[in-house]
């Protein structure tokens, strides 16, 4: 793909789509002054069909269904959009773009149209000619704004700061940092100290946003939503760790008041409802409309491994010193979608969408970037733990997972107290105060039986633990073998089910007392 020369603007095509009585009205404007008469998408494109397609694609992403199930409808929508005046304006713009893509900016004012995955429209007579991974067009969602902007000159690393309101999302934070390992090691990305948990209370926001050095990119890991009146919100926490919803408009005001807007160019919303439209605009659209140059958000949730692949490809393309897409957020997101489609082939590739203010998707100017110190070809090999894992995953192995009770002190105390209460209720003389939990469990077993002990055990200690990142890494790369785990804590099984759904797991457990064979 040819790089743009200095002073050469990329041709762009605006398509504004709105709902009218006659159907869907289309207004077209080209970068060379073209402005044909408005038209419609035709009677075959109705609000009901758009809504059904969006629902089906969201369901397919959740089930990891093949895209072929909705391919015919995706091709029909593509044909309805790219005809008549749209095609007449687009063809000369493609010629003017030479070897580069045309920026396709969609103006979507209705909530229904914002929730629709336009990126999944597929060129007729193709199976992978989707708008979202096209090399001829870069699809973005435009916003109406009076705020001007220019690319941010970056002479060194692109600074990224993560915001993680819920401490339960720290595994996702560690995973994000892991995906950026190579970019951080090469000096292309500077990983600023993340802000996690109760420190991200609304009252602390002004101080936190003024913290130096200020980031070029904010990456939000959490949840978003829409209030009953249509106001988009993001979930933060209070001093007690309870959820607290912050209106996005308030966040925008704080960004401007802190001076962060002078440095910030991109916000990434890893929020399950971050790009769902409200009565006025989604969180993403509102952020872009009121001052941030670009916002990437998701139309629907995706699997953890898909999110990591998308993030690593996106950041590497956006910030890489040798990347042909460097600094271009639209090109980088298209590259990320292509990678997800190639690796997974599911509708999850169309979850991330880009809201862009203006007609230029180049967010960062690297012309005067200082030479970055590139590490050795295999920087990960310097990490003994990483090297050991790579060697381990090369061949078959058996994994023995124990339990060091590192964070289960309160649960163990609860289990101990529950055993005492149950024994007392059964009329058993109180055991000595110094009796250990294991000895107390043996007494319970003898008095009340194994099934009762198992019930109490599962109720107090068998909670839904989240597999640690190390275990998820092992699950993704493990080969068939015999692995020993705790029945009450099936972390490996959960990690395998999430990352390796194609595998069949065979579980062998000891027989019950008196049983005659294996289970």
> CA-CA distance, 139 to 395, in Å (whole number)?
43
Which residues does 270 contact at the CB level (< 8 Å), separation at least 6?
Answer: 172, 176, 219, 220, 221, 222, 298, 307
In the DSSP assignment, the letter for residue 10 is P
pLDDT of the residue at 477 = 66
In 195-294, where does DSSP find H-type helix?
205-209, 248-258, 283-289
Angle 506-343-401 from CA coordinates, rounded to 5°: 35
- Asked if the peptide bond before residue 409 counts as cis, ω within 30 degrees of 0, the response is no
Please state whether beta strands 352-356 and 137-142 pair in parallel, antiparallel, or not at all (unpaired): parallel
Give CATH for domain 160-370. 3.40.50.1460
| pLDDT tens figures, 483-517 | 777 666 677 777 777 777 667 777 776 666 555 55
pLDDT of the residue at 408 = 57
Find where tokens 């295999």 sit.
378
> CA-CA distance, 51 to 368, in Å (whole number)?
47
| CB-based contacts of 423-426 (< 8 A; 24+ apart in sequence) | 423/447, 423/448
- Closest to 445 (Cα-Cα) out of 422, 412, 414: 422
Residue 359 and residue 103 in contact, taking contact as beta carbons nearer than 8 Å: yes
Quote helix, strand, coil % in the chain, to nearest 5: 40, 15, 40
Structure tokens at 374: 């590139």
Residue ranges in the chain whose pLDDT is less than 70: 1-8, 148-151, 271-281, 371-397, 399, 401-409, 411, 461-467, 477-480, 486-489, 501-502, 509-519
Query: For residue 14, what are the β-bridge partners?
Result: 29, 105
pLDDT of the residue at 190 = 92
- Could you give the dihedral angle defined by the CA atoms of residues 214, 216, 221 and 224, in that order, rounded to the nearest 10 degrees? 100
In the DSSP assignment, the letter for residue 67 is G
């Amino acid at each position: 793909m040819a790089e743009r020369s200095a002073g050469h603007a990329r041709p762009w095509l605006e398509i504004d789509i709105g709902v009218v009585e006659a159907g869907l009205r289309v207004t077209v404007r080209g970068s060379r002054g073209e402005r044909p008469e408005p038209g419609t998408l035709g009677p075959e494109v109705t609000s009901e069909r758009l809504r059904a397609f969006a629902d089906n694609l969201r369901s397919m992403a959740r089930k990891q269904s093949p895209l072929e199930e909705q391919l015919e409808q995706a091709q029909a929508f593509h044909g309805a959009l790219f005809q008549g005046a749209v095609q007449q304006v687009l063809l000369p713009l493609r010629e003017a773009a030479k070897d580069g893509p045309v920026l396709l900016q969609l103006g979507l004012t209705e909530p229904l149209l914002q929730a629709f995955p336009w990126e999944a429209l597929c060129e007729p007579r193709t199976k992978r000619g989707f708008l979202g991974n096209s090399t001829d067009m870069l699809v973005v969602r435009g916003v109406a704004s009076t705020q001007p902007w220019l690319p941010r000159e970056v002479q060194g690393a692109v600074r990224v700061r993560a915001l993680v309101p819920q401490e339960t999302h720290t595994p996702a934070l560690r995973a994000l940092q892991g995906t950026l390992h190579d970019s951080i090691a090469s000096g292309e990305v500077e990983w600023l100290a993340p802000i996690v948990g109760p420190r991200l209370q609304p009252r602390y926001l002004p101080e936190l946003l003024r913290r130096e050095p200020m980031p070029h990119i904010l990456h939000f890991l959490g949840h978003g939503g829409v209030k009953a009146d249509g106001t988009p919100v993001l979930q933060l926490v209070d001093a007690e760790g309870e959820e607290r919803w912050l209106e996005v408009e308030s966040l925008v005001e704080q960004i401007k008041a802190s001076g962060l807007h002078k440095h910030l160019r991109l916000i990434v919303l890893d929020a399950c409802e971050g790009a769902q439209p409200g009565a006025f605009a989604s969180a993403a659209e509102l952020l872009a409309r009121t001052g941030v140059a670009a916002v990437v958000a998701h139309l629907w949730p995706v699997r953890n491994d898909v999110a990591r692949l998308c993030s690593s490809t996106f950041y590497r393309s956006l910030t890489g010193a040798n990347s042909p897409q460097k600094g271009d957020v639209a090109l980088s997101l298209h590259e990320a979608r292509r990678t997800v489609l190639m690796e997974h082939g599911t509708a999850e590739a169309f979850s991330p969408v880009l809201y862009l203010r203006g007609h230029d998707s180049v967010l960062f100017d690297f012309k005067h970037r200082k030479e970055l110190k590139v590490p050795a070809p295999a920087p990960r090999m310097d990490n003994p733990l990483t090297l050991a894992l790579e060697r381990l995953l090369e061949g078959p192995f058996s994994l023995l997972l124990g339990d060091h009770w590192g964070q289960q002190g309160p649960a163990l105390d609860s289990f101990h107290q529950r055993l005492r209460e149950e024994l007392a209720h059964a009329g058993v003389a109180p055991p000595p105060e110094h009796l250990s939990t294991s000895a107390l469990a043996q007494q319970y077993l003898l008095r009340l039986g194994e099934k009762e002990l198992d019930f109490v055990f599962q109720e107090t200690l068998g909670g839904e633990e989240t597999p640690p990142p190390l275990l998820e890494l092992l699950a993704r790369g493990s080969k068939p073998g015999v692995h020993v785990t705790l029945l009450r804590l099936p972390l490996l099984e959960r990690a395998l089910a999430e990352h390796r759904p194609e595998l069949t797991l065979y579980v062998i457990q000891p027989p019950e007392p008196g049983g005659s064979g294996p289970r």
